[in-house]
Amino acid sequence: MARVLGGPEAIAQGVQTLRAGGVVAFPTETVYGLGADALNADAVARVFELKGRPSDNPLIAHVAGEAMARRVVAEWTPDAQRLAERFWPGPLTLVLPRADALPEAVTAGGPTVGVRAPAHPLTLALLEAFGGPLVGPSANRSGRISPTTPDHVEQAFADDDLPIMDGGACARGIESTVLDLTAETPRVLRPGVVTPGEIGAVLGRDVAVGSHSTAGPERSPGRLGPHYRPAAPVVLIQTGEPEPAGARIELSKDADACAAMLYDALHRADAAGPIRIVVVLPAERRGDPAVWDAILERLGRASHPG
């Protein structure tokens, strides 16, 4: 059975599990992740198996900082240095050329890897104590709602032998911004609370948004098919529109507050077993429009009928 670990012993037990090639759920400021040794191909395979994750969906390597990041990338660029100094630890993933030591499963066979330092003291301490990078996709079944509390993880993996490190509720609530630094123009592949404007201000040039037009393996997770989906279908409506029957979620007008509560609200609504979940979008939206873009991207995938 899944079990929640709290207190000082959580790190020691987490490290013991990781060194044995096992999987442990850890908190970040965005969502809870399923952690395993990023340099151990068998451990990485266990993460894919536990989640039911397609092999063409790459993983992000979580690190304690620049020194650990250099172990999983082939080149640490000046742009990466500037962005890490500004945003790490924090919800920004940098896509860079992968190091040869990294198992191909981590990158879905591609030539790049996403890497970030999470802004959560418990997980940073776990990374330091373990002494190496960890993969960390969201700690849910593939395609389902991302977890932002230990209870969400425990419910998803109730029948599995999964240690869950209790770091409380996640502060930011949606997955990290993913930025590809391998092309001439930096490109946001997955939106998040670190916005293109903030990134461009650090780099001193424009940042593109959206997927690459060239074929090849995905460079960012969260881009293949429906994601973040409850068991009940999700319907999005504007404030004032007729509301169909179902569990109702009214979003906060504030972008950061909305991002922080989004997945928990979906979990709570879904737990009641409704015929549908009706998400009411606020008429007035406060905060950075780019953060709202990230929220609406998540809701668009959550409500995808496929």
Give one DSSP letter per residue of the chain, joined into a string.
Answer: --EEE-STHHHHHHHHHHHTT--EEE--SS--EEEEETT-HHHHHHHHHHHT--TTS--EEE-SSHHHHTTTBS---HHHHHHHHHH-SSSEEEEEEBPTTS-GGGGTT-SEEEEE--S-HHHHHHHHHHTS-EE--BSSSTTBPPP-SHHHHHHHTTTS--EEE---S-SS-SPPEEEE-SSSS-EEEE--SS-HHHHHHHHTS--EES--SS-SS-SSSS-SS--SB-SS-EEEEETTS---SSEEEE--SBHHHHHHHHHHHHHHHHHT--S-EEEEE-SS-BS-HHHHHHHHHHHHHHT---
Give every CB contact of residue 53 below 8 A, 6+ residues apart in sequence: 47, 137, 142
pLDDT for residue 23 is more than 90: yes
State the pLDDT at residue 212.
60
Q: Are strands 163-165 and 3-5 parallel, antiparallel or unpaired?
A: parallel
CA angle, corner 298, sides to 36 and 60, nearest 5? Answer: 25
Task: List pLDDT tens digits, range 181-240.
Answer: 998 899 999 999 999 999 999 999 999 998 765 556 666 655 556 678 999 999 999 998
- Once rounded to an integer, what is the mean pLDDT over residues 168-186? 95
Task: List pLDDT tens digits, range 46-102.
Answer: 999 999 988 788 999 999 999 999 999 999 999 999 999 999 999 999 999 999 999
Q: Which two tokens stand for residue 62?
A: 């979580």
Task: Give the least confident one: 103-107, 135-139, 301-305.
Answer: 301-305
Task: List pLDDT tens digits, range 276-285.
Answer: 999 999 999 9
- What pTM did the predictor assign? 0.93
Task: List pLDDT tens digits, range 30-49.
Answer: 999 999 999 999 999 999 99
pLDDT for residue 156 is more than 70: yes
Q: Where are the domains of the chain?
A: 3-209, 234-302
* Average pLDDT, rounded, for the chain: 92
- Once rounded to an integer, what is the mean pLDDT over residues 170-189? 95
Residue (of 118, 124, 127, 69) closest to 98 by Cα position: 69
State the pLDDT at residue 4.
77
State the pLDDT at residue 53.
87
Which one has a higher pLDDT value, 239 or 9? Answer: 239
Q: Which two tokens stand for residue 55?
A: 């092999």
Q: Which two tokens stand for residue 16?
A: 């013991």
Reply yes or no on domain 3-209 having CATH 3.90.870.10. yes
pLDDT for residue 131 is more than 60: yes
